C-alpha cells in the first residue's frame, strides 16, 4: 500500500460519516498492520492524541506520540477530539471551548493530513444519538441554531494547525464521490481489505445492507453500484425525526441546509483545504 501521507488524523466530529469510517478502520486494522500501516480506531487513537497535548514537556509528549503511532504511515481515528456530542450547546456553541483542545496540536500534527467530517446540523444531532443533546436542540431557537455553522470553528482549526493539509468530508457528498473515499483515505489497495464494505454498511439502512449482501454473493460491486446503493439507501433523518426528536420544522430544516451549503462553499476557498 503506497501513496499515503506519513500521518493522517481523523479529528471528527462524530457525524454518521465519521462513525462509519471509524468502524471501517476498526474492522480492517489488523490487515493494515500486517501491511505496515498503523490504523487506530477512536478508542485507541483519541487517548493518544489527548495525551500529546497534556502538561508534560513537549519533547516528552512528541516522543511518546511517535512511539505510539509507529510504524508509519499511520491513520488515527480520533473522532471525539471536538468533545462528546452531548456537551454541545451548553454555552450556545456547537462545541464549547473546542479551540482549547486544538491549540497545542500543531507540533504533534505537523504537516499531517487532517480529515474533518461535517454534516448539516440536524443530521449531526440525530447521528449523535444523545437524548441530552436532542433536548437542548428542542429548547434552542432556530435563530441560535442558524448561527452555529461549521465555518468559524473550522477556520480557527486551520489557523491553529498552520502546516497541516485538510480534507473536509461533507455529509452531502454524492454517491460517486463517497465510493472512492475509503481509497482516498486508506490507499490504492483498499479493495483488498478483508472488510472492504464496512464503511458503506455503516451508512445504509437494513434494507440497503440486505441488497448489498445479495450483490456480494455475485461478486464485488463496482463504484457505480456502490454509489447507487448509497444514493438509494443512505441513513438520513426523516422530517418526522427532525420534528419529533429535535423540534425542527420543515422551514428551519431548509434554512439549516442552506447554511451548511454556504459553509461548504466558503471552506472550499481556503488554502490547504480540500472539500470532498
Give the distance, in angstroms, between the CA of residue 34 and the centroid of all CA atoms in the same chain. Answer: 25
Residue located via cell numbers 504511515: 73
Q: For residue range 219-252, what is the model confidence (pLDDT) as tens digits?
A: 989 999 999 999 999 999 999 999 999 999 999 9
The model's pTM is: 0.94
User: SS3 of 236, please?
Assistant: coil
**pLDDT string in tens for the chain (276-residue length):** 457 999 999 999 999 999 999 999 999 999 999 999 999 999 999 999 999 999 899 999 999 999 999 999 999 999 988 887 777 787 778 887 777 778 789 999 999 999 999 999 999 999 988 998 999 999 999 999 999 889 988 998 999 999 999 999 999 888 888 888 999 999 887 878 999 999 999 999 999 999 999 999 999 899 999 999 999 999 999 999 999 999 999 999 999 999 999 999 999 999 999 998
- Integer angstrom CA distances of residue 274 from 99, 198, 271: 21, 24, 8
- Integer angstrom CA distances of residue 163 from 6, 13, 38, 71, 106: 14, 21, 22, 22, 8
Q: For residue range 194-222, what is the model confidence (pLDDT) as tens digits?
A: 999 999 999 999 999 999 999 999 998 99
φ, ψ dihedrals at 113, nearest 5°: -85, 120
Structural contact between residues 25 and 41, judged by C-beta atoms closer than 8 angstroms = yes
> Rounded to the nearest 5 degrees, what angle is found at the Cα of 95, between the Cα atoms of 66 and 65?
5
Q: For residue range 93-112, what is the model confidence (pLDDT) as tens digits?
A: 888 777 777 878 999 999 99
> Rounded to the nearest 5 degrees, what angle is found at the Cα of 120, between the Cα atoms of 87 and 83?
20
List, in order, residues 6 or more apart from 165 with CB less than 8 Å away. Answer: 5, 111, 112, 113, 114, 272, 274
Other Cβ atoms closer than 10 A to 12: 25
Cα distance between residue 95 and residue 197, in whole Å: 31
Cα distance between residue 221 and residue 50, in whole Å: 39
Structural contact between residues 104 and 57, judged by C-beta atoms closer than 8 angstroms = no
Amino acid at each position: 500500500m503506497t501513496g499515503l501521507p506519513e500521518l493522517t488524523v481523523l479529528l471528527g466530529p462524530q457525524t454518521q460519516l465519521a462513525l462509519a469510517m471509524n468502524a471501517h478502520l476498526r474492522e480492517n486494522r489488523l490487515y493494515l498492520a500486517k501491511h505496515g500501516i498503523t490504523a487506530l480506531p477512536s478508542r485507541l487513537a483519541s487517548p493518544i492524541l489527548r495525551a500529546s497535548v497534556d502538561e508534560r514537556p513537549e519533547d516528552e509528549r512528541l516522543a511518546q506520540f511517535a512511539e505510539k503511532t509507529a510504524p508509519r504511515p499511520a491513520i488515527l481515528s480520533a473522532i471525539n477530539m471536538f468533545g462528546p456530542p452531548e456537551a454541545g450547546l451548553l454555552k450556545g456553541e456547537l462545541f464549547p471551548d473546542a479551540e482549547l483542545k486544538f491549540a497545542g496540536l500543531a507540533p504533534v500534527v505537523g504537516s499531517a493530513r487532517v480529515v474533518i467530517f461535517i454534516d448539516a446540523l440536524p443530521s449531526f444531532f440525530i447521528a449523535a444519538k444523545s437524548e441530552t443533546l436532542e433536548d437542548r436542540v428542542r429548547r434552542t431557537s432556530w435563530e441560535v441554531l442558524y448561527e452555529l455553522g461549521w465555518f468559524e470553528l473550522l477556520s480557527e482549526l486551520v489557523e491553529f494547525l498552520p502546516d497541516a493539509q485538510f480534507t473536509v468530508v461533507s455529509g452531502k457528498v454524492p454517491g460517486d464521490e463517497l465510493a472512492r473515499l475509503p481509497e482516498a483515505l486508506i490507499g490504492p489497495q483498499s479493495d483488498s481489505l478483508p472488510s472492504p464494505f464496512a464503511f458503506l454498511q455503516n451508512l445504509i439502512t437494513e434494507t440497503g445492507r440486505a441488497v448489498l449482501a445479495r450483490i456480494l454473493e455475485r461478486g464485488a460491486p463496482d463504484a457505480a453500484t456502490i454509489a447507487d446503493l448509497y444514493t438509494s439507501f443512505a441513513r438520513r433523518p426523516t422530517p418526522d425525526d427532525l420534528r419529533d426528536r429535535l423540534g425542527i420544522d420543515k422551514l428551519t430544516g431548509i434554512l439549516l441546509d442552506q447554511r451548511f451549503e454556504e459553509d461548504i462553499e466558503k471552506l472550499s476557498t481556503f488554502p490547504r483545504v480540500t472539500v470532498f
